Amino acid sequence: MSRFDFRRLNARHPYLLALLLLALALAVNYLLQPNLFQSRVLNSNMRTFLPLMILAAGQTIVIITGGIDLSVGAIVSLAAAVLVTNLSPDAAAGQIALIVLAAAGVGMAAGALNGFCVAFLRLQPIVTTYATSFIFSGLALWILPRPGGSMPQQLARTYRSAAPLGLPLGIYIAILLIIGWTFLRSTRFGTYLVAVGGRPDAAYASGVPVTWVRFASYVLAGLLAAFSALALTLLTSSGDPRMGDAMTLDSIVAVVLGGTRLSGGQGGVAGSIIGVAILGLIRNIISFANVPTWWQTLVDALIIITALAAPGLVRLLRSRRQA
């Protein structure tokens, strides 16, 4: 296949490379863990992957608009602190709903702060969200000074149990995320998200409310970070004021693995969910192969560096061929 044909194929099927990487990761993981596809193991993996899948969906929306959110992990910690300090193992359904809504509101408020600074004050997203992450982490520590708290046991058991057809609950939620993104992408707002990330000046000239679209993307990311916190606390049945710290980098790596461009204007939630699965399987491989855990951080860094360097390398190769 010629280079032109490959580029055209990749443009038509942006998740192709991610699917190939997923197939490779599954094959290697299966060799190391033959029971990989058993219901118990599949359920365990999916409930472990799900919090990051939800978080990566929000990060995807922000990155598609040309931004980035380095505070999503801190928002997870903050929302988790709100949940575990206000819920008891035997909490009633009404109380659970109220506290979950409160945590969602906290996530949206945090996202609104990021969006206001980036969209309205026009501050740099990297610097701004890095700074606000300390605010949110500090609030999480204030609410929950040390690991602890609890979650409703019945709700936690539901999260861990298999759903209809014997499939993990996480698979159904992942499908809902993809359906939600597909619907959002078909709306005018979804078109605006991609337009703002691709060519913001042209989008503004054509009447797109660039400022409000960017603001809304951060609010959505904050909301999804709160739901990620819910999944994470149900997984652990407790909270930790630092439990979301590592998830920020992981969410960016997953988005990159899923084919979303860090420069914005291209990508989708389905790819990011595949990216989370790839990342999780890579970590399973590292664990089962008895490879030192610091390789996980090295792999994350190499993925991001490769994604950042790829456009420049392509331009360099093209210029050399033309010369």
DSSP string for 20-42:
HHHHHHHHHHHHH-TTTTSHHHH
Q: State how far Cα 302 lies from the chain centre.
A: 18
Per-residue pLDDT tens over the stretch 52-95: 999 999 999 999 999 999 999 999 999 999 999 999 888 898 99
The pLDDT, as a whole number, for residue 289 is: 80
Per-residue pLDDT tens for 90-128?
889 899 999 999 999 999 999 999 999 999 999 999 999
- DSSP one-letter code for 162: B
pLDDT tier at 317, thresholds 50, 70, 90: low
pLDDT at residue 7 in the model: 56
State the pTM of this model.
0.91
Task: Give the residue-averaged pLDDT of 270-277.
Answer: 95
Tokens representing residue 136 in the block: 């949110």
Identify the pLDDT of residue 2. 47
CA distances from 130 to 71, 73, 136, 140, 270 (A): 6, 11, 10, 16, 26
Structural domain 39-310, CATH architecture = Orthogonal Bundle (1.10)
Q: What are phi and psi of 148, to 5 degrees?
A: 160, -150
Q: What pLDDT score was predicted for residue 318?
A: 65
Residue 1 has pLDDT above 50, yes or no: no
Decide if pLDDT at 313 tops 60: yes
* Residue whose token pair is 């703002």: 196
Average pLDDT over residues 162-175: 84
Query: Domain map of the chain by residue range?
Result: 39-310
Bigger pLDDT: 248 vs 323: 248
According to DSSP, residue 119 is labeled I
Predicted pLDDT at 26: 95
Burial 245-272 (b: 16+ CB within 10 A, else e): bebbbbbbbbbbbbbbbbebbbbbbbbb
* CB-neighbour burial class of residue 67 (10 A; exposed 0-12, middle 13-18, buried 19+): buried
Q: What is the pLDDT of residue 206?
A: 87
Determine if residue 117 is left, alpha or beta; phi over 0 gives left, psi from -120 to 50 gives alpha, anything else beta: alpha
What pLDDT, on the 0 to 100 scale, is given for residue 315? 63
- Whether 287 has a pLDDT exceeding 90, the answer reads no
Section 279-308 average pLDDT: 79
Instruction: Quote the mean pLDDT of the chain.
Output: 89
Question: Distance between CA 23 and CA 229 in Å, rounded?
Answer: 29
Q: Do 40 and 191 form a contact (C-beta atoms < 8 A)? A: no
Distances from the Cα of 260 to the Cα of 35, 52, 59, 158, 170, angstroms: 32, 16, 10, 33, 22
DSSP letters along 230-272, please?
HHHHHHHSSB-TTTTTTHHHHHHHHHHHTT--TTSS---HHHH
Q: Is 148 helix (H, G, I), strand (E, B) or coil?
A: strand
Lowest mean pLDDT of 15-19, 27-31, 198-202, 318-322, name the range: 318-322
